[in-house]
Amino acid sequence: MAFSLKPHNRHLLYSSCPKIAQSSNSNAGNVVFPPISSSLSVLSSATQLVAAKSTSIGASQSPLVVRASSSSSAAAIAEPEGIKINSVPTKPIEGQKTGTSGLRKKVKVFMQENYLANWIQALFNSLPTEDYKNGVLVLGGDGRYFNREAAQVIMKIAAGNGVGKILVGQDGILSTPAVSAVIRKRKANGGFIMSASHNPGGPEYDWGIKFNYNSGQPAPESITDKIYGNTLSISEIKMADIVDVDLSRHGTTKFGNFIVEVVDPVSDYLELMENVFDFQLIKALLSRPNFRFIFDAMHAVTGAYAKPIFVDKLGASLDSISNGVPLEDFGHGHPDPNLTYAKDLVNIMYGENAPDFGAASDGDGDRNMILGKGFFITPSDSVAIIAANAQQSIPYFRSGPKGLARSMPTSGALDRVAQKLNLPFFEVPTGWKFFGNLMDAGKLSICGEESFGTGSDHIREKDGIWAVLAWLSILAYRNKDKKPGEQLVSVSDIAKEHWATYGRNFFSRYDYEECESGGANKMVEYLRDLVSKSKEGEKYGDYVLQFADDFTYTDPVDGSVVSKQGVRFVFTDGSRVIYRLSGTGSAGATIRIYIEQFESDASKHDVDAQIALKPLIDLALSISKLKEFTGRDKPTVIT
């Protein structure tokens, strides 16, 4: 049984799908279109649903300028068969340092002359030619504003650098997990993801780009550092002189030896999910009249996947999908699934007559939030509970997980599961790419981050819908023998049973977004200086210091070392306070403070986390002198 949550925009317009543009240009290409697939009904039906008063996918945008930045004009260079390749002179542009999740800036920055083109060319200059020459690359994104024009530039530069084929999602749509899945299934050389993840979209907001390797995982720091280095010395952009490709319909377009194939964004990913989970088991749960489910796609990319998976395959009713139409500005929302920005869903799940299970995903579909009836599951607890129940509930893990891992700031709940199940355990820096080597080496199956990222080795990205299906699988397994009308095991029941077995790691994160960078950096330097002078046994109020450091990670697979990954104060009772500057914003600096305290006494497990952690939170703010350095006295987000 479904639960209906009214979307922000109730008035709907209907517009016909765009037609393929015909051209007499010799480089217009040969176009072949099969019938439109029904799997992506929101985007590929005969009519498209577009929420009024919000920027719809496919809306016209300002032209993206790529031109010679000197008095010399573009020159033709060595050409593959049937394509003219121009060498466009350019100059380095400041501010293209690539972070943990690619390059993220305001849309207006990316729309500056040659800004995007420089970065894309710098990427190709950073890769060995055998990694892409005559090869296949995947291209897709979260549907945000600027993706369509950016896709055309990326394809032209790819052709100019000798790529043989581009697989691009219809309308430029591919969730981040789907890009990873398509790369792996199609044995592609890599892929571009056009997304600023959970950051807002629209002309005044954010855009981003990153590159994933042939394993489907984000490019390692060795490559992102090279990209940045090449942006500082770039002098030319290689661009194919070809017309724009119509991305609105499935089909193949050929430009000489260069091929663009527009693919169904859902089919490969859906097939993978059917191989990981027992869809019949989940379908039986969703068909129960006393089980109600709601999924909030936040007008982001998972809206394109929600109906094919939850409705068409698993039998949920259509009104169980909220905000399911992907929009270029996410319906003027902030597509970050947490207690602050997913407030509509939170209000429903904590209201009267709440559904039994609620979930949300973010802009590009790699993050998730899990809620029970009046009950929030922290991401740290979520990955621990999934790991503890995976072998019995999820067919993919029938032989048991190979190993477990978490990012350093994530609570120690997963550590206790690994210990009880006698599984290898790894603590890595923030950034999903650090899990990839462990997965490729066969050491890791299930992993997670406190930043609402959960996943496994089925792909090499975190995966929001995977986490939702994992929770539905656990609930379905625990309730499979319940008779009609019998009370079901709930989300809160499962969490409390887990705490009774493993203890509870109280956890909270305070985010201070868009802080002035100078003050934020001074605060971190102050903390590092404090760490260098710290001594075991020092007292911080009622807490006794076990150690303090700036986290350094040595990869057990390749021996690579990364340092300065977060300042930690770890106390003798297991409590932790951690400070990090986030690399996922597009402007200013985001300071994150993580607070954790373990409690084994089951009689204290029901205490609100903010109450249980208040003494430690006060200590964390005192240690950092955050207000003194930044002027901020209240966090933007509390998780």
pLDDT of residue 221: 83
User: For residue 551, what pLDDT is reported?
Assistant: 97
Q: Is the dihedral of CA 125, 127, 128, 129 positive or negative?
A: negative
- The 3-state DSSP class for residue 212 equals strand
Mean pLDDT, the chain, integer: 89
Residue 409 pLDDT > 80, yes or no? yes
Three-class SS state of 404: strand
Beta bridge partners of 370: 359, 377
Q: What is the pLDDT of residue 22?
A: 31
Chain segment 341-371, per-residue pLDDT in tens: 999 999 999 999 999 999 999 999 999 999 9
Identity of the residue numbered 102:
G
CA distances from 419 to 404, 414, 425, 443, 449 (A): 10, 9, 8, 15, 18
pLDDT value of position 545 = 98
- C-alpha–C-alpha distance, residues 151 and 139, integer Å: 8
When pLDDT is averaged across residues 385-407 and rounded to a whole number, the result is: 98
Q: Which is nearest to 147 in space by CA: 326, 291, 293?
A: 326
Please report the pLDDT score of residue 117 as a whole number: 98
Is 240 or 20 the better-scoring residue by pLDDT? Answer: 240
Q: Is the pLDDT of residue 313 over 60?
A: yes
Would you state the structure tokens that stand for residue 465, as one six-digit string? 């819908």
**pLDDT value of position 1:** 45
pLDDT of 584 = 54
Q: Please report the pLDDT score of residue 82 as a whole number.
A: 75
pLDDT at res. 98? 86
Domains of the chain: 62-266 (3.40.120.10), 269-502 (3.40.120.10), 504-638 (3.30.310.50)
Average pLDDT in the 464-479 region? 99
Residue 29 has pLDDT above 80, yes or no: no
What is d(CA 192, CA 352) in angstroms, rounded to the nearest whole number? 44
Percent helix, strand, coil in the chain (nearest 5)? Answer: 30, 25, 45
Top mean-pLDDT range of 39-43, 221-225, 447-451 = 447-451
51 has pLDDT over 90:
no
Burial readout 298-322 (b: 16 or more C-beta within 10 A, e: otherwise): bbbbbbbbbbbbbbbbbbbeeebbb
Whether 286 has a pLDDT exceeding 60, the answer reads: yes
- Digit-coded pLDDT (tens) for 479-533: 999 999 899 999 999 999 999 999 999 999 999 998 999 999 999 999 999 999 9
How many angstroms separate the Cα of 526 from the Cα of each of 423, 517, 539, 616?
38, 14, 19, 19
Is 197 tagged catalytic? yes
This prediction's pTM: 0.87
Nearest Cα neighbor of 296 from 571, 626, 526, 6 is 6
**pLDDT beyond 90 at 18:** no
Q: What is the pLDDT of residues 98-156, one digit of tens each?
A: 876 789 999 999 999 999 999 999 999 999 999 999 999 999 999 999 999 999 999 99
Share of the chain above pLDDT 90, in %: 82
Check whether 308 has a pLDDT greater than 50: yes
Higher pLDDT, 254 or 57: 254
Find out whether 114 and 236 touch, Cβ atoms under 8 Å: no
- The type of residue at 108 is K
Name the catalytic one among 197, 382, 407, 473: 197
Residue 220: its pLDDT value, please? Answer: 85
Q: Do the beta carbons of residue 383 and residue 454 sit within 8 Å?
A: yes
Q: What is the mean pLDDT of the segment spanning 412-432?
A: 97
Query: Is the pLDDT at 47 greater than 90, yes or no?
Result: no
Per residue in 327-337, is it b (16+ CB within 10 Å) or e — as a string?
bbbbbbbbbbb
Determine what percent of the chain is predicted with pLDDT higher than 70: 86
Q: What digits encode the pLDDT tens for the residues 547-558?
A: 999 999 999 999
For residue 441, the model assigns a pLDDT of 95
pLDDT of 327 strictly over 50: yes
Q: What is the pLDDT of residue 101?
A: 76
Residue 316 confidence (pLDDT) above 80:
yes
SS3 578: strand
pLDDT at 431: 86
Q: CA 392, CA 103: separation in Å to the nearest integer?
A: 40
How confident is the model over 287-308, as a mean pLDDT? 97
* Structure confidence at residue 468 (pLDDT): 99
| pLDDT at residue 66 tops 80 | no
The string of pLDDT tens digits covering residues 181-227 is: 999 999 999 999 999 999 999 999 999 999 999 999 999 888 999 99
Is the pLDDT score of 39 beyond 80?
Answer: no
